[in-house]
Amino acid sequence: MSDQPPPISDDTLHAYVDGRLDAAHSAEIGTRLATDAVLSARVQAWREQNQALHALFDPVLDEPVPARLTQILTPPARARWLHMAAAIGWLAVGGMLGWAVHGKLEPATPIEAVALAQRAAVAHVVYASEVQHPVEVKADQEQHLVHWLSKRLGTELRVPDLNRFGYQLVGGRLLPGDKGPAAQFMYQEARGTRLTLYVAIQTDVTQETAFRYEAGEGVNVLYWVDHGRGFALAGETDRATLLRLGHAAYETLSF
C-alpha cells in the first residue's frame, strides 16, 4: 500500500455530501478534506446547495394539499356507478334502472316520471363526479343561470335555497331531456358531497305525482311532477335527508 491514497473521486464526494457513505468511510473522507482547502470548499458549497433547496422548498410539505389534487384520488362512491355506466353504456343503465324502478312502484306512476328519474340519476352520476367542469354556469352568475335555463325550458324556474341544510349552489347546466331540454342544478356541502336537482317539462300537463323515492346503486332519487314540470333530486344521501331537502325544494318550486 502506498502512503499516498488515490485522489477522492467526484462520486465519493457526492456520496459524502448526500450522506450515502458508511460512518467509517465518511469519517475518513472528512479527515482528508480537512487538509484540502479546495476540495473542502467544493463540498461545503454542495452541502449548502442541499440546505438551501430544503429551506426554500420544504415549507410546501406542510401546506394542505389543494382539493383539486386530492379530488382526483378520491372518487366518491358514485364513481363505481359511473364506471359501470361507462362499461355497459348509458342506455343499458337507464334500462336497468327503469326496470328496477318499475318493478317496485305502484302502477299509477306515469312512465314519463320514471324516465325523468332515470335521466336525473344518470345526469347526477355523470356530472356530480366531474372535477374540472361540474357545471356550465357557476353560482356566482345565478341570475343569468336561472334566466337562461328558464328561457330554454320555456317555463319559469327558481333555484331552491338549501343553505340551511349545508348545501350551497355550485351552478347549473342545460341537458338533453327525454323530449326536449332539461336543466340540472348542482349543490355541494362542505365535505364535497354533491346533490343535483333535475328539471324537465312533462308533456302530460294533467299528471301530478306525490314524492316518489328510488334507491339506486350509488345514487338515490326523489322525484315528483307538479304543474307540468318534473323535478328530481339526486344524491347519495339517505332517504330521510333527501325527503327533507325535497320538501324544502318543493316550497320554492311549487308556484
Partner 1 sequence: MGRHPFEEHLPRLRRYALALMRDRMRADDLVQDTLERALRKFSLFRRNTDLRAWLFTIMHNVHVNQIRAAAAAARTQPDDAGGEPSRAPLDEAAIARDISNALQHLAPEHREVILLVGLEQLSYEETARVLDVPIGTVMSRLTRARERLRALMSGEISPTLRRVK
103 belongs to the binding site for partner 1 (CB under 8 A): no
Stretches 7-15, 155-163, 166-174, 185-193: which one binds partner 1 (CB under 8 A)? 7-15
From 35, 68, 164, 191, residue interacting with partner 1 (rule: CB under 8 A): 68
70 belongs to the binding site for partner 1 (CB under 8 A): yes
From 1, 5, 11, 255, residue interacting with partner 1 (rule: CB under 8 A): 11
Q: What share of the chain is helix, strand, coil (3-state, %, to 5)?
A: 50, 20, 30
Least distance from C-beta 61 to partner 1, angstroms? 4
Length of the chain: 255
- 142 touches 159 (CB < 8 A): yes
Kindly state the helix (H) or strand (E) to which residue 213 belongs, with its residue range: strand 212-215
Question: Total binding residues for partner 1 by CB under 8 A?
Answer: 30
Nearer to partner 1, 64 or 103 (CB): 64
87 belongs to the binding site for partner 1 (CB under 8 A): no
69 belongs to the binding site for partner 1 (CB under 8 A): yes
191 belongs to the binding site for partner 1 (CB under 8 A): no
From 30, 34, 36, 72, residue interacting with partner 1 (rule: CB under 8 A): 72
60 belongs to the binding site for partner 1 (CB under 8 A): yes
Nearer to partner 1, 30 or 192 (CB): 192
From 4, 31, 35, 74, residue interacting with partner 1 (rule: CB under 8 A): 74
Write each residue from 18 to 57 as x if it is in contact with partner 1 (CB under 8 A), else as -, in one continuous string: x-x---------------------x--xx--xx-xxx-xx
Q: Where are the alpha helices (H) located in the chain, listed in sequence order?
A: 10-17, 23-34, 37-57, 67-73, 78-88, 90-104, 111-128, 142-153, 239-253
Which residues are CB-contacts of 151 (< 8 A; sequence separation ≥ 6)? none
- What is the side-by-side order of every strand in the sheet holding 229-235? 137-138, 168-176, 181-188, 194-201, 229-235, 220-226, 212-215
**Cell of residue 178, nine digits:** 327525454
H helices, E strands: number in the chain: 9, 7
Provide the CB-side half-sphere exposure for 8 (13 A, CA).
22
108 belongs to the binding site for partner 1 (CB under 8 A): no
Provide the CB-side half-sphere exposure for 223 (13 A, CA).
31
Least distance from C-beta 75 to partner 1, angstroms? 9
List phi, psi (to 5°) of 233: -100, 125
Nearer to partner 1, 109 or 237 (CB): 237
Which positions lie near partner 1, rule CB under 8 A?
Answer: 10-11, 14-15, 18, 20, 42, 45-46, 49-50, 52-54, 56-58, 60-63, 65-66, 68-70, 72-74, 77
